[in-house]
Every structure is written in C-alpha cells, then in structure tokens.
A and B are shown apart, each in its own frame.
Chain A
Amino acid sequence: MTAASDLAASGSAAPVDSVRTLALNEVGPAERGTRPEEVVIALSPAFGDPFTKTIVDVPHAEVIRQLLAGIEERGGVARVIKVYKTADLAAIAHHGAKLSGSGIAVGVLSRGTTVLHQRDLARLSNLELFPQAPLLDAEVFRMIGSNAAQYAQGQSPKPVPTRNDQMARPRWQAKAALLHLKEFECIDHSREAVEVEPVITKVD
C-alpha cells in the first residue's frame, strides 16, 4: 500500500467539502507552564507560515485540530509554541518539553514528522517517534495527541501503532529533502520561541 492510498483509506485527511485555514497569532514569549496536565505542541520555523500542509497535503490546520482534540478528549490542556532557532525535530520537541507544565511535548515539523518528548529524557531520546511523515494522517495525529495527554497525566499509554511503507522512499524521499532544506531557510537564529494562539477558520 502506498502512502497515498493509505491516506485515502482513512478518509479524513483531505476534506473535500470545506477547507480549514490556520493562523498562529503570537501571544508573547514562550515561557514555562505551570499546569501539571499541560502538553506543549512545539512547531518548527516554517509550520503554518510559509508552509500550510504536510508532505502528503494534510493541512496544518488539520494537524493542530487533531492534536488539540486528542489532548482534550483525554483531559489534557494544550499550549502551542513556535520555535525559530532550529529545524531539528529533537531539539524543537525537547525545548517544548522543558517549557511544558507536565514535561511532555509534541514536536512537529512542517512536513509532518512528529515526536513525543519528555523533559527528563536525553535530547536524542524520545517517548514515541513518527519518522515517516508520508504515513501520518489526521487519525494518527489525533492518537498522538491522546497519548501525549496520557503521558502528561503520568499514565503509560499503548504506543501509537507504527506504519511502514517500503515504497515511501521512491515517492517521498526527495520531496522530504526539499522540504527539509526549505525549513532550514526559515531558521532565525536571533528569534526566541513564541507562544501562539492557533486560530482555525473553516472556509466553505
């Protein structure tokens, strides 16, 4: 099964009738949270702007919506930050985890690659890693949010089932490299991470 047909099978990734857009309104500097059930969603420099969708066209609005829904339905609370100094997923997520009230963060790159991180782990370690961005659809993002909330509450959720697709390489590897290079160009070494308020607007 290819990544694309996989996505189609899940049926929820590419809304046909309506499109949601995402605005990330800056609230202020990203600071350390205090709520013990808090999950931080840490986004990469190009997430939401200038990029608007993942490598397989899952809108960034949908990524955020599903992560938030997954967190909330498990009784967690979320805070979203955007990181500018690095496009390294492990560093982004680990930074988010250090700011998180619970010590748990979800790091997301523009192309969709995602990791669940925890403050006390080594930067290159993680709770769960989803390295194959082409296989991440709305359903998976929701499960990731749900697991993040459970980790935040000190539980040990079952890891989100990993998918594998040996034909992802010929289809997506070069585009992933291109997106990676573009994301690198959006790095601003002088800009501190900011807290953002995600505003999702439905456009019919």
Chain B
Amino acid sequence: MTTNPDLAPDLTAADYPLSVHRPELLHTPTGKTLDDLTMAAVVAGDITSEDLRISPETLALQGQLAAAAGRRQLAENFQRASEMTTIPDAEVLEMYNSLRPNASTAAQLEEIASKLENTYSATTCAALVREAAQVYAARNLLAEEESPVAPLAPQEA
C-alpha cells in the first residue's frame, strides 16, 4: 500500500481503536482533526458532511490493522475503498449499477475501468471491474446491444 510513511507507521492491534489511541494520525479529507469536530463548530456552521468523511490515508491505516489481524481480504477491501474516497457519491452508485448483471457491454465496463484508473488513480478498483468483465463475458452476463432483459427475483410465499 503506497502511503506517506510519516503518516503510516506500522500499526499493531494495540493501536486500535485509532480514535482513542492514535487520534494524532487521523484527519478528514478536508484537513480537520478529530478534535476540530466539536459541537461548537457544528453550531457555528463550520462542519459540513464533507468533514465527516474518512480519508484515504485513514483507510490505509485501518488496512494495516486488518492485515495485522490476519484479515487479508478486509485489507484489500480497504485498499479499494481508499481509492474510492475521491469519487463522487452519484458516480459510485452509477458504477455499482453498471456492474450489475446484463447491465453493461464489455466496452462500457472497460470505459469504467479506464476512468477509475485514469481519473481517480483507482488501480485495484479498475482491476476488479476488468476481472468482472472477463467473467461476465464467459458467463453470458454482458448487456446485449439493445436494452437488457430485466431479471426476475420471485419473493412469494
């Protein structure tokens, strides 16, 4: 995981929870510390939703903790998540919907992968999308050129 070594020391289980044991390592994507997030600041209108987000660096720290606990896949998830922090909410939702079965053509999935890679430097996310495209092609789950057939989810008693 590529992060600033000053910000990302080798963490161990003893550092968890970071909010209690290592608050000095934490900051919001807007540059605020946990101590800045006070009620007074909220009332003064100095805190917005943007200030209550996790930063990519923090996700990298949590990834270290997960890996130290032997949870490789959880750490990989945090890696993808750290890449996604800069993607706007609506676009994240749009990408998710594009990954649903029969929703996208191979070209459309490649377009998403390229955008992840080039616009957001989200290389592991791009890899996940490319992997999906390969499997969807093999399993006949890519969109037809026309509108896709809606799948059925029977939920009857």
Q: Within the complex, are A and B direct neighbours (CB within 8 Å)?
A: yes
Whether, in the assembled complex, A113 has its beta carbon less than 8 Å from a beta carbon of chain B, the answer is: yes
Whether, in the assembled complex, B4 has its beta carbon less than 8 Å from a beta carbon of chain A, the answer is: no
Digit string of B139-157 for contact with A (CB within 8 Å is 1, else 0)? 0000000000010101111
Contact B156 A132 (CB under 8 A): yes
Contact A88 B157 (CB under 8 A): no
Q: Which residues of A contact B (CB under 8 A)?
A: 88-91, 113, 122-124, 131-134, 168-169, 172-173, 176
Report the minimum CB–CB distance from A69 to chain B (whole Å): 25
A182 to B33, CA, bound (A): 62
A122 to B148, CA, bound (A): 12
Report the minimum CB–CB distance from A118 to chain B (whole Å): 16
Contact among A123, A131, A168 with B150 in the assembled complex (CB-CB below 8 Å): A123
Q: Is the interface of A mostly helix, strand, loop or mixed?
A: helix
Q: Which residues of B contact A (CB under 8 A)?
A: 150, 152, 154-157
Report the minimum CB–CB distance from B152 to chain A (whole Å): 6
Report the minimum CB–CB distance from B54 to chain A (whole Å): 36
Contact A168 B156 (CB under 8 A): no
Which are the 5 A-B pairs with shortest beta-carbon distances?
A131-B156, A132-B157, A113-B156, A124-B150, A176-B157
Query: Given A122-B150, A123-B150, A124-B150: A172 and B156 within 8 A (CB)?
Result: no
Contacts of B157 in A (CB 8 A): 113, 131-134, 168-169, 172-173, 176
Q: List 27 A-B contacts (CB under 8 A).
A: A88-B152, A88-B154, A89-B154, A89-B156, A90-B152, A91-B152, A113-B156, A113-B157, A122-B150, A123-B150, A123-B152, A124-B150, A124-B152, A131-B155, A131-B156, A131-B157, A132-B156, A132-B157, A133-B156, A133-B157, A134-B157, A168-B157, A169-B157, A172-B157, A173-B157, A176-B156, A176-B157
Q: How many CB-defined contacts (below 8 Å) exist between A and B?
A: 27
Contacts of A124 in B (CB 8 A): 150, 152
Report the minimum CB–CB distance from B37 to chain A (whole Å): 42
A160 to B2, CA, bound (A): 60
Report the minimum CB–CB distance from B79 to chain A (whole Å): 36
Contacts of A113 in B (CB 8 A): 156-157
Q: Residue of A at shortest CB range from B156? A: A131
Contacts of B152 in A (CB 8 A): 88, 90-91, 123-124
Contacts of B156 in A (CB 8 A): 89, 113, 131-133, 176
Report the minimum CB–CB distance from A3 to chain B (whole Å): 9
A199 to B157, CA, bound (A): 29
